[in-house]
């Protein structure tokens, strides 16, 4: 029954694992859930918490990057001083980017609407 | 070197803390614990310890500061009683789940209301499911010894849990007792230097502690805590054996007093165990085979040891100095009856609630309990499962 020996009782110091996977058993996880890898929030996708999503309007955007500066979750990706994309795997849809945008280049769209459009496109194909 | 001294329980605990010389003590005064911190802070002021003393504004902050210090890699302590422990409640769970080896004496006192400052165990029982190790002390000697052992238990790599060291308010904390204290060097060597394996101030190995844990990991981390508690049972015995080498006093999970041939037994925590042992001695001269079981450790619960100690007894009375208001008896009663159930020995187990709010437990009360047990043994009949001792009714 015991798949973990007494040596494994010191959970944490013996299992300073960096890659935490959701299928790990209790005795494989780090003690008390201590995290030994900096910046690993990136591997925990929180985008599915979102009910509304920011949608970028390329024509209106003046690349002031207010959205990039204000995003509380580093979910605005910028490249060479210009807006690149939203990180939808982590964006929780708070809408701050849309609020601070001086030229209304970000629309907040219901995820339900996006789903409906996706479904409709699927039907057409 | 051992020295015989006369100290109150509070003085003995403060003395133990001085010899342990922790890195951080964060505490707030509350009767009947106040003296521990007051005496200890004089050690700090006089330069007799290297401890950073944090005079916090509440017990919630006291445990929070101890958590912060322990997470930072320090050997941290606090101390409290009653309402203070109640205010500490939420953070005690956090200390346990973060696996921080914080040692804290609790001087047992009734919970309000009605407001009361005297002894019962409702404060400690409120935190029996928090994940901390709970050790109980019959007298000042045991409180002193338990404090020193608690450091080693808490900090053991297989355990890493907070340890609450209990003693009875006023009865033990304020009464002068004769005890043997160890010399500073012996205690220093016994507790050793705390070497944390995970701590926030370790710049070479940055970690994040106390993280958010959802439905996908929380359950597994709780299971880890159970494993630490299981491990603690062995470690407590190991540390107890090692402590015997420096003190001549060995400690296990329970104390079985005259149980080998006992027909009837009382199970009781803390100072009342002394009263019960005295009564058992007296009854033995009258031919009644009376014994006493004193759980020294209440969490983790020493189920196997208790089952072994009580397996041949015919009738058992569990004495609880706390109510659960379940209408089915006190907290320890449920644990003991559960423990004996699998034996299928038809051991009669009854419950006595006693001493709430500091009501004295007198010799004649315990005599009455043993008499009741003798009747149950002879007739095989239990009229009332849960009774109140010393209550006007």
Chain A hits for B209, CB-CB cut-off 8 Å, are: 32, 34-35
For B61-114, write each residue's pLDDT tens digit: 999 999 999 999 999 999 999 999 999 999 999 999 999 999 999 999 999 999
Do A11 and A50 fall within a single domain? no
Do A50 and A35 fall within a single domain? no
Number of residues that make up chain A? 125
CA distance B165 to B134: 6
Looking at residue A19, what is its pLDDT? 66
Q: In this structure, which topology does domain B254-389 adopt according to CATH?
A: Rossmann fold (3.40.50)
For B177-228, write each residue's pLDDT tens digit: 999 999 999 999 999 999 998 899 998 888 889 988 888 889 999 999 999 9
CA nearest A41: which of B208, B309, B328, B16?
B208
Count of structural domains within chain A: 2
Do A11 and A71 fall within a single domain? no
Of B99, B206, B216, the CB nearest to A31: B99
Measure A67 CA to nearest chain B CA, in Å. Answer: 27
SS3 of residue B30 by DSSP: coil
Q: Say if residues B34 and B173 touch (Cβ distance below 8 Å).
A: no
Looking at residue A41, what is its pLDDT? 75
- In this predicted structure, the answer to whether residue B2 has a pLDDT above a threshold of 90 is no
Do A28 and A67 fall within a single domain? no
Chain A hits for B207, CB-CB cut-off 8 Å, are: 34-36
Q: Where are the domains of chain B?
A: 2-247, 254-389
Q: Where are the alpha helices (DSSP H) in B170-271?
A: 184-191, 218-247
Residue-averaged pLDDT of chain B? 97
For A45-98, write each residue's pLDDT tens digit: 889 999 999 999 999 999 999 999 999 999 999 999 999 999 999 999 999 999
Do A56 and A115 fall within a single domain? yes
Q: What is the CATH number of domain B2-247?
A: 3.40.50.970
Q: Is the Cβ pair B198, A9 closer than 8 Å?
A: no
- In this predicted structure, the answer to whether residue B294 has a pLDDT above a threshold of 50 is yes
Q: Is the Cβ pair A12, B231 closer than 8 Å?
A: no
Q: How big is the A-B interface in CB pairs under 8 Å? A: 63
Do A54 and A40 fall within a single domain? no
- In this predicted structure, the answer to whether residue A15 has a pLDDT above a threshold of 60 is no
Chain A hits for B220, CB-CB cut-off 8 Å, are: 24-26, 29
Chain A hits for B206, CB-CB cut-off 8 Å, are: 36, 38
Q: Is the Cβ pair A36, B207 closer than 8 Å?
A: yes
Best B99, B224, B229 member to test A by mutation, with max A CBs in 10 Å, is B224
The dihedral region occupied by B177, where left means phi > 0, alpha psi between -120 and 50, and beta the remainder, is beta
CA angle, residues B329, B333, B334, in degrees to nearest 5:
90
Supply the range of the domain harboring residue A26. 1-44
Do A29 and A50 fall within a single domain? no
Chain B hits for A10, CB-CB cut-off 8 Å, are: 157-158
Q: Do domains B2-247 and B254-389 have the same CATH topology?
A: yes
Do A30 and A49 fall within a single domain? no
For B342-367, write each residue's pLDDT tens digit: 999 999 999 999 999 999 999 999 99
Of A10, A33, A36, the CB nearest to B217: A33
- In this predicted structure, the answer to whether residue A5 has a pLDDT above a threshold of 80 is no
- In this predicted structure, the answer to whether residue B325 has a pLDDT above a threshold of 70 is yes
CB burial class (10 A; 0-12, 13-18, 19+) of residue B383?
exposed
Measure A116 CA to nearest chain B CA, in Å. Answer: 30
Do A34 and A52 fall within a single domain? no
CATH assignment of the domain containing A62: 3.30.70.20
A4, closest residue in chain B (CA to CA): B227
Place of tokens 């809408």: A95
Of B210, B217, B231, the CB nearest to A29: B217
Looking at residue A12, what is its pLDDT? 45
With an 8 Å Cβ cutoff, the interface of chain A facing chain B consists of 6, 9-13, 20, 22, 24-27, 29, 31-36, 38
Do A118 and A101 fall within a single domain? yes
CA nearest B252: which of B305, B327, B212, B313?
B305
How large is the average pLDDT for residues B137-154?
A: 98
């Amino acid at each position: 029954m015991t798949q973990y020996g007494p040596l494994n009782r010191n959970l944490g110091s013996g299992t300073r694992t960096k890659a935490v996977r959701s299928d790990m058993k209790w005795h494989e996880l780090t003690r008390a859930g201590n995290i030994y890898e900096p910046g690993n929030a990136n591997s925990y996708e929180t985008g599915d918490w979102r009910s509304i999503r920011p949608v970028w309007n390329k024509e209106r955007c003046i690349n002031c990057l207010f959205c990039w500066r204000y995003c509380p979750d580093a979910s605005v990706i910028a490249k060479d001083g210009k807006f690149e994309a939203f990180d939808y795997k982590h964006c929780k849809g708070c809408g701050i980017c849309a609020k601070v945008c001086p030229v209304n280049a970000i629309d907040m769209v219901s995820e339900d609407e996006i789903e409906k459009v996706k479904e409709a496109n699927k039907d057409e194909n | 070197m051992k020295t015989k001294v006369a100290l109150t329980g509070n003085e003995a605990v403060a003395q133990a803390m001085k010899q342990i010389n922790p890195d951080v003590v964060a505490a707030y005064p509350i009767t009947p614990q106040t003296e521990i911190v007051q005496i200890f802070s004089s050690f700090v002021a006089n330069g007799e310890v290297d401890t950073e003393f944090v005079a916090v504004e509440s017990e919630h902050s006291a445990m929070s500061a101890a958590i912060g210090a322990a997470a930072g890699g320090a050997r941290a302590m606090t101390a409290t009683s009653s309402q203070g422990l109640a205010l500490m409640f939420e953070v005690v769970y956090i200390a346990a789940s973060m696996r921080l080896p914080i040692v804290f004496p609790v001087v047992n006192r009734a919970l309000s209301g009605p407001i009361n400052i005297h002894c019962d165990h409702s404060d400690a029982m409120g935190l029996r499911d928090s994940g901390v190790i709970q050790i109980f002390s019959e007298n000042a000697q045991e409180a002193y010894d338990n404090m020193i052992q608690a450091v080693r238990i808490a900090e053991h790599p297989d355990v890493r849990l907070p340890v609450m060291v209990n003693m009875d308010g006023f009865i033990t904390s304020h009464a002068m007792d004769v005890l043997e204290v160890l010399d500073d060097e012996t205690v220093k060597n016994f507790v050793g230097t705390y070497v944390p394996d995970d701590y926030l101030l370790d710049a070479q190995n940055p970690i994040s502690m106390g993280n958010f844990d959802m439905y996908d990991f929380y359950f597994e981390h709780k299971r880890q805590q159970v494993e630490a508690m299981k491990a603690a049972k062995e470690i407590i015995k190991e540390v107890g054996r090692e402590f015997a080498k420096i003190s001549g006093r060995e400690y296990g999970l329970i104390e079985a007093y005259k149980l080998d041939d006992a027909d009837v037994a009382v199970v009781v925590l803390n100072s009342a165990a002394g009263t019960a042992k005295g009564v058992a001695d007296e009854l033995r001269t009258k031919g009644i085979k009376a014994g006493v079981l004193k759980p020294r450790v209440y969490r983790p619960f020493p189920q196997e040891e208790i089952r072994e100690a009580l397996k041949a007894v015919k009738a058992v009375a569990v004495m609880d100095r706390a109510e659960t208001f379940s209408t089915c008896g006190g907290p320890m009663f449920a644990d003991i009856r559960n423990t004996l159930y699998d034996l299928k020995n038809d051991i009669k187990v009854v419950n006595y609630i006693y001493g709430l709010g500091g009501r004295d437990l007198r010799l004649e009360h315990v005599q009455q309990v043993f008499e009741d047990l003798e009747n149950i043994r002879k007739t095989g009949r239990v009229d009332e499962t849960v009774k109140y001792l010393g209550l006007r009714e």
